[in-house]
């Protein structure tokens, strides 16, 4: 088996100020690997809504670059600085509401707007353009570093769990790798780093209905890296655990509250309940930009509801009769009590409670 190496990025900025944003269209994977251009903010918003770009950190980075697209629009239209700022604010509102659950999107867009606000009031439009692109690039570059740190800390937690359950493997859900971030990923980086460190174990990926991010994207990334992966239907996780094949679960997050409740891809909560029932450690991996300390408990997290057709017509094939209703929340909330530890760039938050979260995050507040 070849050794693991980095997978391709999921988004890139071509050129400098006035350049363009390109996204790897993830709706086409694994059968087609195609980059699409985003000539205007509408196309960035559409790409975020339709999951051409997805994963909490990646949509944050796309939102920041989306503002660079907006700034370039202002430059091309020759807007004077006051109008250019108004244009950026209007576009920021469209970008940060493109998807409601992942707080990284709002965080990255607001951080980029703040970079513009720090410029002198009489700064020319060209300075606005440069400031937006510089901030977007900084967010992108920082995310690479955060992923690397999360990978290191997460690999240590997994190594311990693997040592405690010889012969068992690691189960993950959705996609939390290079396709979901600006670097090598969060939960998936923990898995690939453990593999790179020489640990050998089974990697299990839930297919992750209804959009199959596990089967289409996580499995694709692991194949690219030469790491063997076993895909299972989401409902097989209980049987896998009952037969002793899971040493640990590790997943990502879209928003984590001050008390440690975690919103993540639908199916995460069921997995955490199953893990608790089998005494299996359940880890969450996320950068500090995924924490929303303005919210105390998970009930306050807005949960995105998506189109019924994603359930009735999976992968475009009719799977339910015409006229049925579908329940399709994109995310669920896992209470802190079910989570063994949260892996951040600063290290492992364990136990998961308000005090420990505040302690570990103090560095970034």
Q: Does 47 bind ligand MRU (CB under 6 A)?
A: no
Integer Cα distance of 355 and 334 in angstroms? 19
* Closer Cβ to ligand MRU, 131 or 262, answer by number: 262
Which residues, in sequence order, are CB contacts of 13 under 8 Å at separation 6+?
Answer: 19, 20, 21, 22, 65, 68, 133, 136, 137, 140
According to CB under 6 A, which one of 4, 125, 176, 192 is a site residue for ligand MRU? 176
**Applying CB under 6 A, which part among 35-43, 86-94, 176-184, 310-318 lies near ligand MRU?**
176-184
Residue 306 is classified by DSSP as -
Structure tokens at 23: 């996204």
Integer Cα distance of 204 and 174 in angstroms? 11
Q: Does 60 bind ligand MRU (CB under 6 A)?
A: no
Say which of 184, 206, 254, 292 is annotated catalytic: 254
Q: Could you give the string, one character per residue 65-104, with x where binding to ligand MRU holds by CB under 6 A and - elsewhere?
A: -------------------------------------x--
Q: How far is CA 87 from the centre of its chain?
A: 28
Q: How far is the CB of 185 from ligand MRU (least distance, A)?
A: 6
Q: Could you give the string, one character per residue 230-269, with x where binding to ligand MRU holds by CB under 6 A and - elsewhere?
A: ---------------------xxxx---------xx----
Residue nearest to ligand MRU (CB): 252
Instruction: Compute how many residues bind ligand MRU; rule: CB under 6 A.
Output: 19
Q: Does 328 bind ligand MRU (CB under 6 A)?
A: no
Q: How far is CA 345 from CA 2, 8, 293, in A?
A: 28, 22, 17
Integer Cα distance of 328 and 305 in angstroms? 6
Active site residue 254: yes
Q: Does 289 bind ligand MRU (CB under 6 A)?
A: no
According to CB under 6 A, which one of 52, 54, 91, 255 is a site residue for ligand MRU? 54
How many C-beta atoms surround the C-beta of residue 304 within 10 A?
Answer: 16
Rounded to 10°, the helix 81-96/103-117 angle is 170
Structure tokens at 142: 């920082």
* Closer Cβ to ligand MRU, 125 or 213, answer by number: 213
Q: Does 140 bind ligand MRU (CB under 6 A)?
A: no
Bridge partners (DSSP) listed for residue 35: 24
Q: How far is CA 265 from CA 194, 257, 269, 285, in A?
A: 23, 16, 9, 13
Binding site for ligand MRU (CB under 6 A): 51, 54-57, 102, 174, 176, 180-181, 186, 213, 251-254, 264-265, 330
């Amino acid at each position: 088996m070849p050794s693991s190496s980095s997978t391709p990025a999921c988004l890139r900025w071509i050129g400098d100020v006035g350049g363009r944003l390109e996204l790897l269209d993830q709706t086409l994977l694994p059968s087609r690997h195609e980059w699409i251009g985003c000539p205007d903010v509408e196309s960035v918003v559409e790409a975020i809504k339709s999951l051409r770009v997805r994963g909490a950190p990646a949509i944050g980075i796309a939102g920041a670059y989306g503002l660079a697209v907006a700034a370039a629009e202002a430059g091309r239209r020759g807007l004077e600085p006051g109008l250019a700022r108004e244009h950026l604010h209007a576009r920021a509102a469209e970008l940060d509401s493109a998807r409601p659950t992942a707080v990284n999107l709002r965080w990255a867009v607001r951080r980029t707007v703040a970079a513009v606000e720090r410029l002198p009031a009489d700064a020319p439009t060209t300075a606005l353009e440069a400031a937006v692109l510089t901030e977007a690039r900084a967010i992108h570059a920082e995310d690479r570093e955060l992923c690397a740190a999360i990978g290191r800390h997460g690999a240590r937690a997994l190594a311990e769990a693997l040592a405690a359950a010889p012969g068992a493997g690691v189960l993950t859900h959705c996609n939390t790798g290079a396709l979901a971030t600006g670097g090598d990923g969060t939960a998936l980086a923990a898995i690939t780093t453990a593999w790179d460190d020489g640990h050998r174990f089974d990697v299990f990926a839930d297919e992750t209905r209804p959009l199959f991010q596990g089967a289409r994207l996580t499995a694709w990334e692991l194949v690219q890296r030469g790491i063997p992966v076993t895909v299972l239907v989401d409902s097989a996780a209980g049987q896998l655990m009952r037969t002793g094949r899971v040493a640990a679960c590790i997943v990502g997050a879209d928003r984590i509250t001050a008390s440690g409740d975690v919103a993540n891809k639908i199916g995460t909560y069921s997995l955490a309940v199953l893990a608790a029932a089998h005494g299996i450690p359940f880890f969450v991996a996320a950068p500090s930009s995924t924490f929303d300390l303005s919210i105390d408990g998970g009930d306050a997290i807005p949960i995105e509801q998506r189109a019924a057709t994603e359930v009735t017509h999976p992968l475009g094939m009719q799977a339910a009769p015409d006229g049925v209703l579908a329940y399709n929340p994109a995310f669920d909330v896992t209470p802190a009590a079910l989570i063994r530890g949260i892996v951040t760039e600063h290290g492992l938050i364990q136990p998961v409670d308000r005090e420990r979260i505040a302690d570990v995050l103090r560095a970034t507040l």
